[in-house]
Amino acid sequence: MGKDETLLCIEDLTIGFPTGKCVKRVVDHISLEVKKGEILGILGESGSGKTITALAVMGLLPAAARILRGRIQYRGRDLLTLEEGERRRLRGAEISMVYQDPMASFNPLLTVGAQVEEMLRLHAKHTQEEYRALTLKALKEVGLTEPLEVYHRYPHQLSGGMRQRAMLAMAIIAGPKLVLADEPTTALDVTTQGKILQLLRELNEKYGMSIVLISHDLRVIQNTCHRAIVMKDGRIVEAGMTQELFARPQTKYTRQLVAAAPRLFSDGGGLRVTCAKNTSYKEQREIFTIQNLNVFYPEKGSGLLGKKRRKQVIKNANISVLQGETLGIVGESGSGKSTLAKAIVGLNREIEGVIKFNDVAAKGKGELAARPQMVFQDPFGSLNPTKKIGWLLEEPLKLQTNLSKKERIARVREMIRQVGLTYEFLERYPSQLSGGQRQRAAIAAALIVNPKLVILDEPVSSLDVTIQAQILRLLKELQDKYSLTYLFISHDLNVVFQICNRVCVLYRGEIIEIKEAQELLYRPQHEYTKELLESAMVKMGNRLP
């Protein structure tokens, strides 16, 4: 078998969802090839049809989907005309899949070992001992250093990264020739992301396994794949060798994607210069300070008379924020970022220590003239689904000002324009808006009462890259216009370095470093900061500067 043997060949595939009389096409005349031993990347934003394509290959399309035309050939056999029994034999043994959310794809009631072993049982005949030995071997193969222990654990007892490794073990155990990985790292922390991608590359090299890597993240594709395909609205926009494709994109859309992806590291800090020009904050005074702050999370006591217990989430935090700056707070999930934010705005009252705004002590309670406002990560959750956008924008004015109805409406209309939406949106419900529009509305709702301090809790994490860039630009504009101070919480270092003047690193509830962004990037002190930066670099395919 030559290296150039074509493993999978999709020709003119078109898939649609019939709705009423018309058919909504989600995959539109797609043709692609996967060669033996290569890693092919499929890059696209949500709704571009990349997952549906993968599901079609697996024969796992949702019941409502119809294949309208085209062929999917695997080593010369047309998958679409195969009988279900034949297909089932291929699934797992020849082609397997890794899903985005390993928590949802494991059965919570069975041990990890049993589930990985099940895959082998379905495709190969061995004795009991051999099954077990092979399963342990596969778990070891994917970098789980204590396979025996993992074997007996339940999915919820493993960390996100370990679960994704176990998922990979399940995908490779029957020795497939082709693995489809659908956003395998999206649900993971940066540090873990890099390791999983590394593992994928190793498996590819060691066994010559072909991999189709599906992602919305250009950096993931760029650093893992030999060849890449860019999809948009169900069509292939561009295809080519990865390095070539992203170095010299031919189409406007790819150029947009490349431009939107943070280039911080590859440019050696080019983007930092653009935001560092806002240095005037230095001469200004502190807008608020935190001294010796401990934040707790109340744990439910047992029973009616159970003693109230609480878990310490933030330990002895000291931060002072200057007027007009953007202070980034980075850390892994579970490091206490959101808890800290909630304590600052007064949503969490289980605190000890001092939070001072404008020299007025507001211990425990956030009673001050213009409360700090917050923009939440998920605009689907932070806008009340039963209210129109106009109502949502007017509500804070009703509660915090004594403007007349007329003045309120004027203010609402002004604000909606400021965030780049039109008046029509005032009459819509949140569900009628796209993710980006929704986040704009959420920003408008936060800014409408003229707060001085705005806390942005992962404001772009749930958005597509191109939308991310737009929202970041909007935030920057609004900051200049209203001289806002931002506290920017994110797990994505690239976004943080794009917008923040200073960065504070949170690790297991402790602030381990707080510095100018440039300083932190080039001279990280703490081991964890180094690790964090390094894993972001690995993902970027660059070395530390």
The number of beta carbons lying within 10 Å of the beta carbon of residue 346 is 18
Q: Which of residues 413-452 bind another protein (CB under 8 A)?
A: 429, 431, 442, 445-446, 449
- Distance of alpha carbon 4 from alpha carbon 30, whole angstroms: 21
Q: How far is the CB of 471 from another protein (least distance, A)?
A: 17
- Please, which residues bridge with residue 421 across strands? none
Contacting residue, 243, 280, 284, 384, with another protein by CB under 8 A: 384
Q: Which stretch, 246-254, 374-382, 419-427, 506-514, contacts another protein (CB under 8 A)?
A: 374-382
350 binds another protein (CB under 8 A): no
User: Residue from 176, 249, 396, 436 that binds another protein (CB under 8 A)?
Assistant: 396
Return the residue of 399, 404, 422, 543 that touches another protein, per CB under 8 A: 399
Q: How far is the CB of 428 from another protein (least distance, A)?
A: 11
CA dihedral 350, 353, 356, 359 (to 10 degrees): 150
> Measured between alpha carbons, how far is 499 from 375 in angstroms, rounded to an integer?
16
Regarding 371 and contact with another protein (CB under 8 A), the answer is yes
User: Which residues from 10-69 bind another protein, rule CB under 8 A?
Assistant: 20
Min dist CB 370 to another protein, Å, is: 10
Out of 11, 395, 492, 531, the only residue in the binding site for another protein (CB under 8 A) is 395
How close are the terminal C-alpha atoms of the chain, in Å?
Answer: 43
Residue 48: C-alpha distances to residues 23, 42, 145, 216, 329 (Å): 16, 10, 37, 10, 32
The single residue among 286, 378, 531, 534 that binds another protein, judged by CB under 8 A, is: 378
Nearest to 414 by CA among 399, 397, 401, 431: 397
Give the chain's radius of gyration (CA, Å).
26
Instruction: Choose which of 128, 145, 302, 386 interacts with another protein (CB under 8 A).
Output: 386
- Tell whether residue 462 is a contact of another protein (CB under 8 A): no
Cβ-defined contacts of 397-400 (< 8 Å, 24+)? 397/448, 397/449, 400/371, 400/449
Q: Name the segment binding another protein (CB under 8 A); options: 123-131, 318-326, 380-388, 498-506.
A: 380-388
Report if residue 342 touches another protein, rule: CB under 8 A: yes
Query: What is the C-alpha separation between 486 and 325, in angstroms, rounded?
Result: 6
- Considering only the stretches 50-58, 180-188, 275-283, 345-353, report the one whose residues sit in contact with another protein under the rule CB under 8 A: 345-353
Only one of the segments 36-44, 97-105, 211-219, 381-389 lies at the binding site for another protein (rule: CB under 8 A); that segment is 381-389
Compute the distance between CA of residue 255 and CA of residue 261 in angstroms, rounded to an integer: 10
Stretch that binds another protein, among 62-70, 122-130, 171-179, 367-375 (CB under 8 A): 367-375
The yes or no reply on residue 304 touching another protein (CB under 8 A) is yes
Find the binder of another protein among 100, 210, 222, 373 (CB under 8 A). Answer: 373
Q: Which helix (H) or strand (E) holds 24?
A: strand 22-35
Minimum CB separation from another protein for residue 399, in Å? 4
Q: Residue 533 burial by CB count (10 A; 0-12/13-18/19+): exposed, middle or buried?
A: buried
165 binds another protein (CB under 8 A): no
Size of the site for another protein (CB under 8 A): 30
- Under 8 Å CB-to-CB from 308, ≥6 apart: which residues? 298, 301
Residues 468-507 that bind another protein (CB under 8 A): none
345 binds another protein (CB under 8 A): yes
For residue 107, the minimal CB distance to another protein (Å) is: 25
* C-alpha dist (Å) from residue 145 to 139, 152, 160: 8, 14, 15
381 binds another protein (CB under 8 A): yes
Number of Cβ within a 10 Å radius of residue 455 = 25
Binder of another protein out of 400, 461, 466, 518 (CB under 8 A): 400
Q: What angle do CA 60, 65, 69 make, to 5 degrees?
A: 95
* Integer angstrom CA distances of residue 347 from 187, 236, 376, 463: 26, 46, 13, 25
Q: Which residues of the shown chain bind another protein in the complex (CB under 8 A)?
A: 20, 304, 342, 345-347, 371-374, 376-378, 381-387, 395-396, 399-400, 429, 431, 442, 445-446, 449
